[in-house]
Chains A and B, each alone.
Chain A
Amino acid sequence: MKNKLTYLSIFLCLLIIAATGAVNAYATTDSLTAAGKVYVSKITYDPAVFFTDDTGTVTVEVTNGNTDLGVVVNHATLSDKNIQLKSGSYDSTSNIGPGKTYTFTFTIAAISPEGTYYPTFSLSFRDAESLFYRPSVQVDNTPLKLTVSEKPDAFAQSKKKTVTVQVANPRKNDVRNVILEITGDGVTVTPSKIYIGGLAAGTDSTVNFSVTPDQPTTLVLTLHYDNGYNSHTVATDLPIVFGVDKKQATPIVSNIQVKSDAGIYHVTGDVNNAGLETANAVTVTSLAPAIPEDPYRTYVVGALKPDDFGSFEVTFSAENSARVPLQLSYKDADGNVYTSEQDVKITALPSSSQKSGNLPVLPIVAAVIIIGVFIGGWVFYLRRNKK
């Protein structure tokens, strides 16, 4: 009997509490008017535009437009079959004071293909009907674009060349932490990772890196970037093919003249740049069996632009050699050193020391003939006149 009374008392209490709550939740004219002035003041998606399967947040700011009445909300949620709510609903009761803004943040996942979607944000008032709002969200799978904008015609083993890449953002939203990573077998890339940072929508950025290949290979250019909190990558290949650069500087030695003085050979000539790029730091020197001697062991011609030319003079000694190789070297814009060799005959002109043994025959013969004709003529003339 005592237990029955106890259960009845509890039931009555609960009934009273429930009855009291029903009385509090009851919509009055004032509460309905106050709820009508509550509105969604701002919607923010991060990222602004989703890739399919991207996870992000949506922040809904609800403002109470009343100046003297607060409103009580007890439920807020976001729902759509294409946009998956991952963080759950707001189920606690909250009071939004007059003129105040309350922020609801939801974690969502774009599980849909490309398109524009309208998830429903619903907000339940304790003393009025619910508020519904359908903010649009875009799902776009357009990736960042990676373009090799400048590269040499051909690569050469152990020669450093510069490659220029353009990174463009054709998306409608900004992306963050853009990093270009370059990898490849048998190749040295400097720098191998380039941090570009943020890239605003519709903008691009240009980056340079140098490539020194040891073998023909393929460079993989991978662009890492964050769309909101989601990492994405886009990659492109750059084949490294060895060959001759059609535009490279082509210094050619010409107008070579050789003379010698006291055993020292002086070789003079011109270096013409027959290529389409500038040859920097052009130098000329002699190679073995020649031994470079002062004053011009190595002659620095300097920079030669296309079609430009410069004169040089090198001095060396050489014994028992009819030909001596001249080495011509230059640097390209990346500092790579190129060398070429050209043989020079060193028997062109006699040295002064050799001259005494190597007479100018023609003038001597001519002079002897003139003297002979002169004296002989007079001898003949005198004899004839004597008779």
Chain B
Amino acid sequence: MIGDIRMKRSFTDLVLRPNAFFAGLMGEKESVKIPALILLVSGIIGAATAYVVSGPSAKMMAGLMPGIETIIMLTAVPVALIGVYLFWVIWTGVFYGLSYLFKGNGTFKRTLEVVGYGSLPQILGSLLTLVISMLYIPRVVAPQLTNAAAENPQMIQDAVNALKNNPAMMEYNQIVSIVSILFIVWSANYWIFGLKYARNISLRDAAVCVCVPVVGMILIVLYTLIVM
């Protein structure tokens, strides 16, 4: 009960006073349990989103092999869940590595912990993405491939292009991209404060360590959007 109250107060601090939150966190024992739970919630919502989003692709491939529709949709769920944890580790690794340039010190586990806490806005972002997916994906009309198409790569390519160029799908991709950029920037603010304490570097150095990969990430998202 006491732990719950402390967690509630801590989450409020994280959202409103991240500097104080992470300063206080440094006085506690390193633990990734709560960050892992935050990412689990985000991952479950993300998995639900992946299930919805994989629908048109699964429908497109349904004619190629019996049961492939279910396989695709069920595969998307664990991939999305694992992906959340994978990105947690990758972000942490990047921040940890960059902070070396600024002579940062502090354990990887502590960095992992602060990045996990900083991912709290991703829960809201995942929820919003799920709602958008449920609104847009049913409007996507997926072309259906037949057995004959399996022997013709051009037909498969045409079908994939048709799916990508579907107006609803294009609009969905653009909206989801903006949402993901918005929430990753929100998380980045927390990561800067967290990294400052986790790696014992200045706020300016922490901002550089976070801003560079985050802006890079945003550019990749934009590039993907343009190329698609």
Interface residues of A, Cβ cutoff 8 Å to B: 257, 259, 261, 266, 268, 295, 349, 352, 355-356, 359-360, 362-364, 366-367, 370-371, 374-375, 378, 382, 385
Select which of A257, A295, A385 is within 8 A of B167 by beta carbon: A257
The reply to whether A295 and B225 contact each other, CB–CB distance below 8 Å, is no
The reply to whether B215 and A375 contact each other, CB–CB distance below 8 Å, is yes
The reply to whether B211 and A261 contact each other, CB–CB distance below 8 Å, is no
The reply to whether A382 and B203 contact each other, CB–CB distance below 8 Å, is yes
The reply to whether A367 and B218 contact each other, CB–CB distance below 8 Å, is yes
Selected A-B contacts with CB under 8 Å, 21 pairs: A257-B167, A259-B166, A268-B141, A295-B158, A349-B165, A349-B167, A352-B165, A359-B226, A366-B181, A367-B178, A367-B218, A367-B221, A367-B222, A370-B178, A370-B181, A371-B185, A371-B215, A374-B214, A375-B211, A378-B192, A382-B203
CB proximity to A under 8 Å, residues B68-126: none
B147 at the interface (CB under 8 A from A): no
Taking residues whose C-beta sits less than 8 angstroms from the other chain, chain B's interface range is 20 to 34
The reply to whether B225 and A259 contact each other, CB–CB distance below 8 Å, is no
- Expressed in whole angstroms, the minimum distance between the Cβ of B175 and any Cβ of chain A is 8
Interface residues of B, Cβ cutoff 8 Å to A: 141, 155, 158, 161-162, 164-167, 170, 174, 177-178, 181-182, 185, 188-189, 192, 203-204, 207, 211, 214-215, 218, 221-222, 225-227
- 20 new A-B contacts at CB < 8 Å, known A259-B165, A367-B218: A259-B167, A261-B162, A261-B165, A268-B141, A295-B158, A352-B165, A355-B226, A355-B227, A356-B226, A356-B227, A363-B225, A367-B221, A367-B222, A370-B181, A370-B185, A371-B185, A378-B211, A382-B204, A382-B207, A385-B203
CB-CB < 8 A to A355: which residues of B?
226-227
CB-CB < 8 A to B192: which residues of A?
378
- Which residue, A259, A359, A363, A385, has most C-beta atoms of chain B within 10 A? A363
Interface residues of A, dominant DSSP:
helix
CB-CB < 8 A to A367: which residues of B?
177-178, 181, 218, 221-222
CB-CB < 8 A to A268: which residues of B?
141
Given contacts A261-B158, A261-B162, A356-B226, contact A362 B204 (CB under 8 A): no
CB-CB < 8 A to B189: which residues of A?
374
Query: Complex: how many Å from CA A382 to CA B211?
Result: 13
The reply to whether A363 and B161 contact each other, CB–CB distance below 8 Å, is no
The reply to whether A374 and B211 contact each other, CB–CB distance below 8 Å, is yes
The reply to whether A363 and B185 contact each other, CB–CB distance below 8 Å, is no
CB-CB < 8 A to B182: which residues of A?
370
- Expressed in whole angstroms, the minimum distance between the Cβ of B154 and any Cβ of chain A is 9
Query: Complex: how many Å from CA A352 to CA B170?
Result: 12
- Expressed in whole angstroms, the minimum distance between the Cβ of A97 and any Cβ of chain B is 92
CB-CB < 8 A to A257: which residues of B?
167
Select which of A352, A360, A370, A375 is within 8 A of B161 by beta carbon: A352
Query: Complex: how many Å from CA A256 to CA B182?
Result: 34
Query: Complex: how many Å from CA A352 to CA B215?
Result: 26
Which residue of chain B is the closest to A356 with respect to CB atoms? B226
Select which of B158, B185, B203 is within 8 A of A374 by beta carbon: B185
Query: Complex: how many Å from CA A375 to CA B211?
Result: 7
Query: Complex: how many Å from CA A345 to CA B218?
Result: 35
Query: Complex: how many Å from CA A180 to CA B221?
Result: 80
CB-CB < 8 A to B188: which residues of A?
374
The reply to whether A371 and B226 contact each other, CB–CB distance below 8 Å, is no
Which residue of chain B is the closest to A363 with respect to CB atoms? B174
- Please give me the 7 A-B residue pairs with the lowest Cβ-Cβ distance, nearest first: A363-B174, A374-B185, A259-B165, A366-B178, A378-B207, A261-B161, A382-B204
Query: Complex: how many Å from CA A374 to CA B178?
Result: 14
Query: Complex: how many Å from CA A352 to CA B87?
Result: 30
Which residue of chain A is the closest to B162 with respect to CB atoms? A266
Query: Complex: how many Å from CA A375 to CA B208?
Result: 10
Query: Complex: how many Å from CA A231 to CA B27?
Result: 123
CB-CB < 8 A to A362: which residues of B?
174
The reply to whether B207 and A363 contact each other, CB–CB distance below 8 Å, is no
- Expressed in whole angstroms, the minimum distance between the Cβ of A322 and any Cβ of chain B is 19
The reply to whether B225 and A360 contact each other, CB–CB distance below 8 Å, is yes
